[in-house]
């Protein structure tokens, strides 16, 4: 936890490598101090089949799934930092966005929690 899933048009990974994109998101998330060191996970899904509005040249959308408990201000700051970093990397891409979803502690389970 947390998970950052980057959906993007496939032209994005021809501008910067997937590794470079994922590392930027990872380091930016880590820099916020909201997550334990080493807990951040990032993956990328480039799409070759998509449709955008007229004149749009690509997209990046980051889905962040984090454990509940962060304030709205903390989540807003996280989104703004990641979108800002991606915008600096891809100034010519029309659509760069992010949203954050909270996992509920009551229903979350992972391998280490099974006895």
**pLDDT score of 115 more than 80:** no
Residues 61-75 pLDDT 10s = 999 999 999 999 999
Residues 3-62 pLDDT 10s = 999 999 999 999 999 999 999 999 999 999 999 879 999 999 999 999 999 989 999 999
Q: State residue 48's pLDDT score.
A: 96
Task: Indicate the pTM of the whole model.
Answer: 0.93
Q: State residue 50's pLDDT score.
A: 95
CB 34 within 8 A of CB 77: no
């Amino acid at each position: 936890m947390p998970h950052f899933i980057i959906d993007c048009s496939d032209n994005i990974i021809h501008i910067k490598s997937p590794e470079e994109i994922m590392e930027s998101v990872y380091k930016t998330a880590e820099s916020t101090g909201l997550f334990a060191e080493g807990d951040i996970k990032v993956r990328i899904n480039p799409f070759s089949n998509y449709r955008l509005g007229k004149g749009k040249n690509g997209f990046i959308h980051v889905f962040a799934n984090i454990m509940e408990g962060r304030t709205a201000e903390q989540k807003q700051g996280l989104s703004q930092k990641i979108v800002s970093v991606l915008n600096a990397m891809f100034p010519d891409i029309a659509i760069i966005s992010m949203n954050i979803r909270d996992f509920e502690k009551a229903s979350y389970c992972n391998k280490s929690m099974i006895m």
